[in-house]
Amino acid sequence: MSFYPPLKRFLLGRTLPTSAHAEERLSIAAALAVLSSDALSSVAYATEEILLVLILAGSSPLGLSVPIAIAIMILLAIVVLSYRQTIRAYPQGGGSYIVARENLGIYPGLVAGGSLMIDYILTVTVSISAGTAALTSLVPALLPFTVSLCLIFIFLLTIANLRGVKESGKIFMIPTYTFIVSIFVLIAFGLFKQATGHISTNYPSIPVKEGLSLFFILRAFSAGCTALTGVEAISDGVLAFKEPEWKNARLTLMYLGVILGLMFIGITYLSHIYHIIPTEGETLVSQLGREIFGDGLFHGFLQVVTLLILLLAANTSYADFPRLCYFLARDGFLPRQLALLGDRLVYSNGIILLSLCAAILVVIFKGQVNAVIPLYAVGVFTSFTLSQAGMVRRWFREKSSGWLASALMNGLGAIATAVVLGVIISTKFLLGAWLVVVAVPMLVALFFTIRRHYQYVAESISLKGMPPRGYLPRSKPAVVTHPAVVVVGQLNRGTVEALDYARTIADEIVAVHVDIGSTDKERLQEEWLHLERDIPLEIIESPYRSVIEPIIKFVSEFEERHQGVFTTVIIPALVPHNWWESFLHNQTVLFLKTALRAKKSRVVTTVRYYL
């Protein structure tokens, strides 16, 4: 990053020394806020996505949302119990990439890694889109600016994360717990109103677009499975807990499971008894809030809190994605730049990459949650399955105390998530899941291409067997010549300086000038003889007005005549005061350097003349 320094300092704060790198340890309450916002916030859209599928078959199957939600809760319980085993086995933090790589091998590891990369990007897209939907439900006038709002939120998250959000624990707790309390208050009041008989109207009549089938119900189930994304975050971040880390992490995971389950089933049941249907322009939670509390303060409060927890949910990807990229880059599967700590001790390049990808998806899908949902959850269930399968393998290999129960639990988890993954892919394939199914193998292929390149480079430049250089005699042997070619555009102060430099390093110098038809050759030769008569000047005619090609040809021939020594190609460059002024000069220097690289010239020297 080399943008305007004062602006950078204003946005990102001052640069931090490496020694400032330290991790804050989190209490259970803080960890639940920091690590679970992604999972908890899915309550804001998961029920709506189920209903959006069911409604295609009219109003009659809408009641199926409740059993579907119960099925998803059972799946959640299995996943939570399964991940408890992972936490015990990986008290240092067991992300899916690491667990799958260690226990299943490199391919499954990279598939898990690639899947997770895609899912982290989608988490940002979905959470930001859902948060914006919460806001536009409250202020419908903002609806036309959906995409712009999404991009603004992404920009703010980017800046916050480039600064580094170290003070996070406490800041995260307020919106997370407020959201949890708000949702429970909503559920309690909603149930109370039902019990006291204040129940609203029936479903309006809805046109039936598709017949009810098992496939159809499974599609609704798949849409709801997005509620499980983010559950793995706690097992990734075990090291962030206070001691005893893995015990606290397991406890937090249990709390998360219970809270998420209750909120999800509560919202789904309320939507059913209040006969809420998904509406364009207002989220389901917003409709519930208005239905139960009226158009007043609590509804507004609920929307703002929903927006905030969804921003936090997106924010968790800003911790997970750059960390995953760091692991992959460290192992040579991603460009090395992703493993560099930035000015503020965060993986800046990973953060920027995540923001760019998420922003592109927001623009493509116009900030609509339900447009992105078919892509979502494919990645996370792939990594669930691989991670749990890896754990099964591990238990069988290690056979530590209590291994059989753990293996059974992880096996159940692996099978359940594998089945769901199959359901998700088959029901949402044509709706967009195919994109992920295609993208993951492409990513894995890219990982291998990148590693192959790094390995090739490392071998090419290895010094194995290279003899010591320092024993060369310091005085230069008399037979070696030091040839140099000086490229001359005009004869001016810049050129004179380059020729002066050439005299100090070379003993065979030739200057070359290309005439594209605009050179006054006689005058140039005359001036040359006056000023630089000790260096021969070659003028090359260029009837096709190309400057670069004749020079390249000349240099190539010159280098061929001087094999075994370094030929220095000297290019004088005028440096203007300001960057914009360089647009007013031909970019010949740049083109020439690029062309010399293509011709494998070894030594290119720029002699700069500052205006």
Q: How far is the CB of 115 from its own copies (least distance, A)?
A: 23
What is the C-alpha to C-alpha distance for residues 555 and 595, in angstroms, rounded to an integer?
11
Nearer to its own copies, 180 or 339 (CB): 339
If phi > 0 it is left, if psi is from -120 to 50 it is alpha, else beta; for residue 569 that is: beta
Number of H-type helices and E-type strands within the chain:
22, 5
Number of residues that bind its own copies (CB under 8 A): 86
Contact flag: residue 505 with its own copies (CB under 8 A): yes
Least Cα distance to 233 among 324, 172, 165 occurs for 324
3-class state of residue 486 by DSSP: strand
Contact flag: residue 209 with its own copies (CB under 8 A): no
Nearer to its own copies, 209 or 469 (CB): 469
Contact 595, 548 (CB under 8 A): yes
CB neighbour list of residue 555: distance below 8 Å, 6 or more residues apart: 485, 512, 567, 569, 596, 599, 601
- Site residues (CB under 8 A) for its own copies, limited to 286-305: none
Contact flag: residue 213 with its own copies (CB under 8 A): no
Contact flag: residue 181 with its own copies (CB under 8 A): no
Give me 172's structure tokens: 């995260």
Nearer to its own copies, 15 or 148 (CB): 15
**Residue in 5, 197, 465, 470 binding its own copies, rule: CB under 8 A:** 470
Q: How far is the CB of 16 from its own copies (least distance, A)?
A: 7
Nearer to its own copies, 210 or 527 (CB): 527
Nearer to its own copies, 313 or 573 (CB): 573
**Residue in 469, 522, 557, 564 binding its own copies, rule: CB under 8 A:** 469
Give me 512's structure tokens: 């070359």
Nearer to its own copies, 64 or 552 (CB): 552
What is the C-alpha to C-alpha distance for residues 269 and 271, in angstroms, rounded to an integer?
5
Q: How far is the CB of 538 from its own copies (least distance, A)?
A: 16
Q: What angle do CA 148, 167, 138 make, to 5 degrees?
A: 35
Least Cα distance to 308 among 143, 156, 142, 185 occurs for 156
Q: How far is the CB of 546 from its own copies (least distance, A)?
A: 8
Q: How far is the CB of 160 from its own copies (least distance, A)?
A: 21
Q: How far is the CB of 487 from its own copies (least distance, A)?
A: 14
Nearer to its own copies, 510 or 604 (CB): 604
DSSP category for residue 566: P
Nearer to its own copies, 363 or 603 (CB): 603
**Residue in 457, 520, 521, 561 binding its own copies, rule: CB under 8 A:** 457
Distances (CA, A) of 17 to 189, 330, 345: 52, 21, 8
Span of 149-157, 399-407, 416-424, 467-475 interacting with its own copies by CB under 8 A:
467-475
Distances (CA, A) of 262 to 76, 183, 592: 11, 10, 68
DSSP category for residue 433: I
**Residue in 243, 297, 479, 533 binding its own copies, rule: CB under 8 A:** 533
Stretch 423-452: interaction string toward its own copies, x if CB under 8 A: ---------------------------x--
- Site residues (CB under 8 A) for its own copies, limited to 313-352: 335-337, 340-341, 343
Q: How far is the CB of 148 from its own copies (least distance, A)?
A: 18
- Site residues (CB under 8 A) for its own copies, limited to 537-596: 543-546, 565-566, 568, 574-576, 581, 583-586, 591, 593-594
Q: How far is the CB of 526 from its own copies (least distance, A)?
A: 12
Nearer to its own copies, 204 or 468 (CB): 468
**Residue in 454, 538, 540, 556 binding its own copies, rule: CB under 8 A:** 454
What is the C-alpha to C-alpha distance for residues 428 and 256, in angstroms, rounded to an integer?
27
The three state secondary structure string of 390-421 is HHHHHHHHHCCCCHHHHHHHHHHHHHHHHHHH
3-class state of residue 586 by DSSP: coil
Nearer to its own copies, 430 or 471 (CB): 471
Q: How far is the CB of 281 from its own copies (least distance, A)?
A: 25
What is the C-alpha to C-alpha distance for residues 135 and 478, in angstroms, rounded to an integer?
80
DSSP track, 44-99: GTHHHHHHHHHGGG-SGGGGGHHHHHHHHHHHHHHHHHHHHHHHHH-TT---HHHH
DSSP track, 129-173: HHHHHHHHHH-GGGGGGHHHHHHHHHHHHHHHHHH--TTHHHHHH
Contact flag: residue 9 with its own copies (CB under 8 A): no
**Residue in 202, 205, 401, 462 binding its own copies, rule: CB under 8 A:** 462
**Residue in 396, 405, 492, 520 binding its own copies, rule: CB under 8 A:** 492
Q: How far is the CB of 490 from its own copies (least distance, A)?
A: 8
**Residue in 534, 557, 560, 563 binding its own copies, rule: CB under 8 A:** 534
